Structure 1
Amino acid sequence: MTDIAFAQRWAETRTNDLAAHRELYAAPEFFCVETRMVDDHLGDTLSTDGEFAEGLAPYANKDESNGLGVQSITVTDAFVGNGHLFIHWDWKVDGADSYRGLPVEGKSLTSKGSTFLQFDAAGKIILESTFLNENPVFQQLGLPIITPHYWEEGFDPASLG
């Protein structure tokens, strides 16, 4: 079942029930979750049950008073093909005290993300690569990040200063 329904179940269990979420994945050491940089394999690669529980716990946090914030993921699209699933999603966190060390000051932070999933013959996830576009989050926190639409006709690189 690698379709939009699976993508929605993936998102729902990630933010609400990590035990059910874990059931979507292959056995320990037979799955790999990359949450920041696919090629570095340092610190963000999860491949054991312990790493899975610890690394994904912030997504499922429901304690509004601990400063971690309560996250939600809403699937907007899913693309199926050849034993893979690519998911586009909207992300939101409410109630976080800080984000990457920056004070949030009561703001709800939002952005978009994507996840690539590869499955084994039994339909279990063996590879996940997840990316959250953090630039809009940093912009919401007041950082002066420029995001030019350089692909648009008439874009002038000199406009960047």
Structure 2
Amino acid sequence: MNYAFAVKWLKAFRESADAICELYADDFVFEDPILDQYQIRDKGDLGRIFVLYANKDRENGLGVHNFRIRGYEGDHRSGLIRWEWTPEDCANFIGIDVKDKPFFAQGHTFHVYNEQGQIVRESSWWDSGSILHDVGFPGVTSTPFPAAEPALA
């Protein structure tokens, strides 16, 4: 696909779970190992995962989820989408109290597309450690990347 498709995919998260699921082929595989979600092949199950991200109610504690594309590399058969995510008004995430604790994460999603331009395989990976650090989870400290070593001539 292309950058425009990646933008459409991320915007669908704010629209509805149905809007997201429409971008997937009937025969697909979805994985998000960070959330222990493997080999999901049913659109009903996929929709139940994605419904959280389309929440628009700032009072229910589920948060309003903002995604932004950082880059896309690929072609009509497959692509890697780099994205960032920031929820607002979120009270709980993966069982952690995040009320009034803003956080930010970056991740990437690899897609394989069919001839009709639908997603047939997805694997998403994101930085859960940065979330734990941002919300002050006990025992998680910030570890900056080490300085790059000079290149050898």
Fold match, TM over 0.5? yes
Against the structure 1 CA distance between its residues 82 and 122, is the aligned structure 2 distance closer, same or farther, given a 3 Å change threshold? closer
Q: Identity percentage over the alignment?
A: 26
Q: Which residue of 1 aligns with 2:39?
A: 45
Q: 2:86 aligns with which of 84, 92, 95?
A: 92
Instruction: For 1:21-40, list aligned pairs within 5 A.
Output: 21-27=20-26, 30-36=27-33
Which structure features the higher share of strand residues? 2
Q: Distance in 2 between matches of 1:14 and 1:105?
A: 22
- Does 2:6 match 1:10? no
- Answering whether residue 107 of structure 2 is matched by residue 113 of structure 1, we say yes
* Ranges in structure 1 where 5+ consecutive residues have no aligned partner: 155-161
TM-score, normalised on structure 1?
0.82
- The question of 1:80 aligning with 2:81 is answered no
Q: Considering only aligned residues, what root-mean-square deviation do their CA atoms show, in Å?
A: 2.1
In structure 2, what residue type is equivalent to 1:11? Answer: L
Give the whole-Å Cα distance in 2 for the aligned partners of 1:44 and 1:61. 23
Specify the alignment match of 2:125 in structure 1. Answer: 131
Q: CA deviation at 1:151?
A: 6.4
Q: CA deviation at 1:36?
A: 2.1
Structure 2: where are the runs of 5+ without partners? Answer: none
Counterpart in 2 of 1:159?
A: none
Q: 1:44 to 1:59 in 2, by over 3 A?
A: farther
- What letter is aligned with 1:59? Y
CA distance in 2, matches of 1:64, 1:36: 28
With the length of structure 2 as denominator, give the TM-score of the two structures.
0.86
